[in-house]
Amino acid sequence: MARRTGRAPEIETESGSPRSAANSIRELEWDDLRYFLAVADSGSFNQAALVLGVSYSTVTRRVNALEDRIGVRLFDRNRGGHDLTAAAEEMANVARRMDGEIRSLARQLSGRDQRMSGRIRVAIAEMLALTYMQDLAAFRHEYPEIEVDLVAASEHADLACLEVDIALRAGNHPPDELVGRRLEMLPVAIYASEEYLARRPADLELAAHTWISPNGGFTQLASHAWMLKHAQDAHVAMRVHSGTTLLAAVREGIGIAHLFCAMGDAQPELRQIRPPEPELETALWILTHDDLRTTPRIRAFLDFMAKRIRLRSGQMKPILFQGGKK
């Protein structure tokens, strides 16, 4: 989040009238504030552009136009990004409250939509999307009138900011603001390609192997901490930012890495070099917002995926999760 500079608000309108500034603020549209809030919360125009899915120049143009319209400077540049002025800090607090109310209203209205058709947005990490794509395809065949938007999201992404209806998420601590059920436990093991094992035998010490390591936000995975603990001095040949890249690198024989067994075992050219690590076993959750859980198309997706995944995994009745209470 951008930092507050502690400076007093600087309200200097072109007409020199505070009244004209107030009038300008009343005429603002939510889209103006959405661009401003993205910069305020991310700390830079570049990051805001990524969050909004637009270009850097678009964010800059919209924020500059907002500053001109209300006659208030909102950001001061610094080496790492942009600092909020005191006036912008107050404006951001109001905008965040508005954002929360708008999202809540949208979910409430969507929750009253009784159609078994339309669009649902599903947050899912790339590695999980690869693992469960067959199940997602089966849902589409069963419910052809429901359009599924997959939103790439890490296990630690803020789902509220992604504006999604459902999340398929791996982790042992689901967000308290969501409800849902645990579908199965996902074992995790170290994998290597047959090509790699032709050069380096599987029974080498872990630190003697060449590793492929997570990078960026991907380093929050428990498997990364495990690697640092048990193979601290190992050579890292490549660092990657996504699950699909990790899988591709292992398949090409660049090094070894942790993979979900459901994914690694499905690759004919890969081999487990040691049994799954019990401490890395991760729960798979299917989650939604409380006010969407009875929407027919949301309910259909939740029930279909839960039944299909449980039947395939052979695991018993799911554990329910309701706002932090399992």
* Angle ∠(204,206,208) on CA atoms, nearest 5: 65
Q: Considering the entire predicted model, what is its pTM?
A: 0.61
- pLDDT at 114 > cutoff 90: no
The CA dihedral of 292, 165, 308, 280, to the nearest 10 degrees, is -120
pLDDT in tens, 241-276: 888 899 999 999 999 999 999 899 999 999 999 999
Q: Using an 8 Å Cβ cutoff, are 200 and 194 in contact?
A: no
User: What are all long-range contacts of 310-315, with beta carbons under 8 Å and residues at least 24 apart?
Assistant: 310/183, 310/184, 312/135, 313/183, 313/184, 315/183, 315/184, 315/185
Ranking 192-196, 212-216, 285-289 by mean pLDDT, the lowest is: 212-216
pLDDT in tens, 19-63: 444 455 555 667 778 888 888 888 788 878 877 777 888 888 888
| pLDDT score recorded for residue 254 | 97
pLDDT band for 5, please (50, 70, 90 cuts).
very low
pLDDT in tens, 280-300: 998 999 999 887 877 889 999
Q: How far apart are CA 44 and CA 22, in angstroms?
A: 27
What is the CB neighbour count within 10 angstroms for residue 160?
A: 16
Query: Domains along the chain?
Result: 18-106 (1.10.10.10), 113-186+282-322 (3.40.190.10), 188-280 (3.40.190.10)
Return the closest-CA partner of residue 175 out of 12, 22, 21, 324.
324
pLDDT in tens, 146-174: 999 998 776 555 555 557 889 998 888 88
| pLDDT score recorded for residue 75 | 83
What is the CB neighbour count within 10 angstroms for residue 194?
A: 12
Q: Which residues touch 57 (CB under 8 Å, ≥6 apart)?
A: none
| pLDDT score recorded for residue 4 | 43
